[in-house]
A = this chain, B = another copy of it.
Amino acid sequence: MLIDLFDCDGLADLDLVERALRTGVAASGATMLDLRLHHFGPGQGVTGIALLAESHMSIHTWPEHGYAAVDIFLCGPAQLLQAARDTIAAALSAGRVEEKTISRGYGAAL
């Protein structure tokens, strides 16, 4: 699930982005293996990536545009993807959410 979040707040806040990612992973029911964050500097964007037993979840933020790109790559039911999406969108106070859900690879034919 590729999610574009617009009109967000707090996108230059490393701790906030980390919480968004952690609560998103928790909402999805996935198992976190590792979590890496990078802050590009005060007032600038944050990248966060969670390695999951089920694949990964990433957030990249552009505070100057109020925009965050969230990717959720999971094997699992749609409700869990949606729960993760809603949790992250709420954590970042997104005003508008757009998404695409794309089935991948051999699983796309199942």
Contact = CB atoms under 8 A, between A and B. Distances in A.
Contacts of A68: 105
Interface string A54-98: 011010101001011101010000000000000000000000000
B105 A69 contact: yes
Contact of A38 (B34, B38, B47): B34
Contacts of A55: 47, 60, 69
In this complex, which of A56, A65, A69 has the most chain B Cβ atoms within 10 angstroms of its Cβ?
A56
Name the interface size band of chain A.
20 to 34
B73 A58 contact: yes
A69 B104 contact: yes
Given A4-B104, A62-B105, A65-B106, 12 more contacts: A33-B47, A34-B38, A47-B51, A47-B56, A49-B49, A49-B56, A55-B60, A56-B58, A58-B58, A62-B106, A69-B73, A71-B73
